[in-house]
Amino acid sequence: MESTKLVVHKRDQAGKGVARRLRRAGQLPAVLYGNGTTLAIALAEKDLVYIRQSESGENTILDFTIEGDTPESCQAILREVQIDPVSRALLHADFYRVDMNKTITVTVPLTFINEPHNLLQSANAMLTHLWREVEVTCLPRDIPDEIVVDLADIHPGATFKAGALVLPPGVTLVADAEEVIVTAHVEVEKAPAESGAEAEEAS
């Protein structure tokens, strides 16, 4: 996975008033934590938008340059973004320091291919996706952009379990291998209810 350079700034003040002033200036309040430390920072809102829309998304490895009285640099990853539930505006972000030689746990999106819709429809079956992402552990440089789920062999009444996922080298599944990711559930048609006359005749 490629890394992205990002310049952030230390901030000495906190609070709602400070956060509002930052946002009006096109900046977002954020924190950088890890290694037993927490640092208040600010970054350009457009940079966070770019990260989230990139191919690797929130799993992008970031080469931080932290400007302030004592500038420093480190690698980090985006952990959480707070978004206004009404306006959908970005409010705050949490970043986590990473050691490129130590494994971390991340959530990776699943990409589904070869879904046999025609076969399932002919058998009155419905494909249900129970998971859209999966947790894995790996070195930061080995974080995959996606994990592909090939459903070409799924048939009516079958399931696709987490243990069947094909993971890239160096990537380990966190979930139990028996966890169901996709089901091809066969719908059973209900028999029509008997009318009153038919019920009397049957008795």
Q: Are residues 34 and 86 in the same domain?
A: yes
**CB of 8 closer than 8 Å to CB of 64:** yes
Which contiguous run of DSSP H or E holds residue 202? helix 196-202
Give the pLDDT band of residue 190 (cuts 50, 70, 90). low
Q: Give residue 81's domain range.
A: 3-97
Q: Are residues 108 and 87 in the same domain?
A: no
Q: Is residue 192 domain-resident?
A: no
Q: Are residues 73 and 36 in the same domain?
A: yes
Q: Is residue 198 domain-resident?
A: no
Q: Are residues 123 and 158 in the same domain?
A: yes
Q: Which two tokens stand for residue 73?
A: 């640099």
C-alpha 143/C-alpha 170 separation (Å) is 9
**CB of 169 closer than 8 Å to CB of 142:** yes
* Count of residues in the chain: 203
Mean pLDDT for the stretch of residues 63-67 = 91
Per-residue model confidence (pLDDT) at position 178: 95
Measure Cα distances from 180 to 119, 124, 158 in Å: 20, 20, 10
Answer whether residue 72 shows pLDDT above 80: yes
Q: How far is CA 44 from the centre of its chain?
A: 22
Give the pLDDT band of residue 188 (cuts 50, 70, 90). low
Q: How many domains does the chain have?
A: 2
Answer whether residue 197 shows pLDDT above 60: no
Q: Is residue 168 domain-resident?
A: yes
Which one-letter DSSP state was computed for residue 52?
H
Per residue in 111-159, pLDDT (tens digit) is 999 988 777 777 788 889 999 999 999 999 999 999 999 999 888 889 9
Query: Residue 33's domain is classified under what CATH number?
Result: 2.40.240.10
The lowest-confidence range among 33-42, 95-104, 112-121, 155-164 is 112-121
Mean pLDDT of the chain: 87
Query: Residue 142's domain is classified under what CATH number?
Result: 2.170.120.20
Of 166, 164, 105, 161, nearest to 136 by C-alpha is 105
The lowest-confidence range among 25-34, 110-119, 191-200 is 191-200
Strand partners, 66: 8, 72
Q: Is residue 84 domain-resident?
A: yes
Q: Is residue 18 domain-resident?
A: yes
Mean pLDDT for the stretch of residues 161-174 = 95
Q: Which two tokens stand for residue 74?
A: 């480190």
Measure Cα distances from 94 to 3, 64, 121, 196 in Å: 18, 13, 44, 65
Mean pLDDT for the stretch of residues 164-187 = 92
Q: Are residues 65 and 109 in the same domain?
A: no
Q: Domain boundary at 68, 97, 126, which?
A: 97
C-alpha 134/C-alpha 179 separation (Å) is 11
Strand partners, 97: 76
C-alpha 32/C-alpha 96 separation (Å) is 6
Per residue in 2-21, pLDDT (tens digit) is 678 999 998 876 667 777 78
Q: Are residues 10 and 86 in the same domain?
A: yes
Mean pLDDT for the stretch of residues 178-183 = 95
